[in-house]
């Protein structure tokens, strides 16, 4: 019932119907909702032909400008997660690498595998989101760096890893979504790294 109410809210908003307070949940509106759902079929939907033109020369120019600013000794990561923020993951990645980016950042292991199929192992890839520790052998083979999202994640990874793997340590600085939250947790991880040759921490980010 709750999900139906939320669905109703979206429908009413889409129809530009202004409703306030409890009046939105009247039987009349619920009947309207049921009628709309009953008569709606995505197979009969009509869509306008829409597209986006991405100027890859602008991407090239922006990357080169950033590289010029930070210098050759500093790495530049092009984050292409979410299909390149809707601009085309592989296309933006290729344009960025050609212009001088040295890393690629993605959100998931699926995205990392898609990018790796396009680029050689010379280009390091960082998965910014969660990767299950059981896939660490795969990420090591494909030179995909993963993110240590919590102390518990590092402990589990250390327990099951059969070979060295690279990870970047994520620190939670206020978003409260992923990352270590205290100095004590960071110190525990660093101690584990010093004792376990399979744990190779190569970066830190927030």
Q: Which domain holds residue 20?
A: 2-44
Does residue 180 lie within any of the structural domains? yes
DSSP bridge partners of 205: 170
Do 36 and 106 share a domain, yes or no? no
Query: Which residues are CB-neighbours of 8 under 8 A, at least 6 positions away?
Result: 24, 25, 29, 30, 33
- 136: nearest Cα among 150, 156, 151, 117: 156
Counting DSSP H helices and E strands in the chain, the numbers are 9, 6
What global pTM score does this model have?
A: 0.75
| Strand intervals (E) in the chain | 77-79, 103-106, 125-127, 144-148, 165-170, 199-205
Which is more confidently placed, 136 or 86?
136
Segment 83-99 shows an average pLDDT of 95
Does residue 137 lie within any of the structural domains? yes
Does residue 32 lie within any of the structural domains? yes
Q: What is the pLDDT of residue 100?
A: 97
Q: Which CATH number does the domain housing residue 147 bear?
A: 3.20.20.10
What percentage of the chain has pLDDT greater than the value 90?
71
Q: Which of 12-16, 77-81, 88-92 has the lowest mean pLDDT?
A: 12-16
Q: What is the pLDDT of residue 51?
A: 80
Count of domains observed in the chain = 2
Does residue 157 lie within any of the structural domains? yes
């Amino acid at each position: 019932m709750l999900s139906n109410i939320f669905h109703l809210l979206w429908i009413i908003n889409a129809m530009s119907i202004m409703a306030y307070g409890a009046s939105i949940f009247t039987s009349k509106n619920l009947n309207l909702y049921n009628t709309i759902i009953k008569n709606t079929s995505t197979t009969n939907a009509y869509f306008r032909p829409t597209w986006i033109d991405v100027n890859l020369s602008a991407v090239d120019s922006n990357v080169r400008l950033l590289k010029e600013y930070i210098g050759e000794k500093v790495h530049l990561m092009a984050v292409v997660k979410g299909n390149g923020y809707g601009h085309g993951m592989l296309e933006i990645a290729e344009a960025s690498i050609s212009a001088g980016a040295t890393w690629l950042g993605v959100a998931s292991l699926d995205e990392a595998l898609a990018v790796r199929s396009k680029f050689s192992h010379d280009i390091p890839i960082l998965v910014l989101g969660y990767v299950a520790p059981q896939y660490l052998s795969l990420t090591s083979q494909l030179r995909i760096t993963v993110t240590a999202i919590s102390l518990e994640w590092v402990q589990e990874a250390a327990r099951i890893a059969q070979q060295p793997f690279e990870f970047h340590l994520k620190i939670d600085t206020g978003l409260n979504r992923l990352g270590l939250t205290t100095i004590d947790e960071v110190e525990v991880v660093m101690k584990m790294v010093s004792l376990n040759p399979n744990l190779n921490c190569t970066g830190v980010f927030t």
